[in-house]
Amino acid sequence: MIEDLQNKESREPDFNSLDTGQKILRRTSQFKVPHTLSKEEGLAKLKARIAESPEQKRLPINKSRSLTYWLSAAAASVIILAGIWQFFIREPFNNVVATKGEHNEYKLPDGSLVTLNAESKISFRKTNFEKNRVLKMEGEAFFSIQKGKSFVINTPLADIKILGTSFNVFAREKVFKVSCITGKIQVTSGSQVIIITPGESVALENSGLIKFEDNHIETVANWRNGEFNYENSPLSSIFKEIERQFNVTFAVSKIDEKYFTGSFTNKNLVNTLDIVCIPLGLTYEIGTNSTILIREKPQ
């Protein structure tokens, strides 16, 4: 009956133009209303029941929950983005650099001292450094670490962990060496871990980390005073150090592989070249743009 009634009403041209209340009144006029209620009272009661139906009540609750969820997610996103901004933009790494021809002594936020050799660099974040003492290093540096939480130095070749000590680190290209002056140091490379104590050094070789008693431990950090000591070291490494200390460039003609034992300072370039070249049978010529030409001495 109801289906027939709906079909009939949909065919009536004026039915669709009625508002909701009028449509309900038109449709309910086909039913019998209890004698105790008028048609108007029955319509009001029907509207009240519709308003109280579960379907009508659930809609605002669902909308409210969806809105709450969306706002919570948005707030969390804002907090995360703010944290990223704080960490990467507002607090960038603090870089300390020693360029060619200079040394740089720097006091870290925890009171530790670091002296950088020429063409060396450290990077760290100042915020909460005393609670998270971690820095990156390239080149050569001497550290005097204040006691406190563990101190970690990351280099391209190995990592160093100390609790309070003084030591020298050399980490250039493929050469890595740590020499312990005081305290205790833990050096890690891959899965290999070695601990050294005063008078010991650890170096990275093809087979991994090697620990040894360093007979020259007292001179290993003399570069801080401008003094450089070598024993049977390749001439190529000597020239690289001279380049760093005097901000010059070597142009070396083809010469036989040579090794140098001795010491020099960074006070006078000519004296240094004499000390290195003359015993090895080499001549030098200081040209323009601070370029030094090295040749074998004619026989």
Domain assignments of the chain as residue spans, ordered by start: 98-213, 226-296
CA gyration radius, the chain: 41
pLDDT tens digits, one per residue of 203-257: 999 889 999 999 989 999 999 999 999 999 999 999 999 999 999 999 998 888 8
pLDDT tens digits, one per residue of 94-115: 999 999 999 999 999 999 999 9
CA distance 60 to 129: 51
Write down the pTM of the prediction. Answer: 0.68
Helix axes 20-28, 2-11, angle to 10 degrees: 130
CATH fit for domain 226-296, picks 3.40.228.10, 3.10.20.30, 1.20.1440.230, 3.55.50.30: 3.55.50.30
Question: What fold is seen in the domain 98-213?
Answer: Jelly Rolls (2.60.120)
Confidence of residue 5 (pLDDT cuts 50, 70, 90): very low
The 3-class secondary structure across 249-278, one letter per residue, is EEEECCCCCCEEEEEEECCCHHHHHHHHHH
What letter represents residue 166's amino acid?
Answer: S
Q: Please give the mean pLDDT across all residues of the chain.
A: 83
Query: What residues have CB less than 8 Å from 20, skipping those under 6 apart?
Result: none
pLDDT score of 289 more than 60: yes
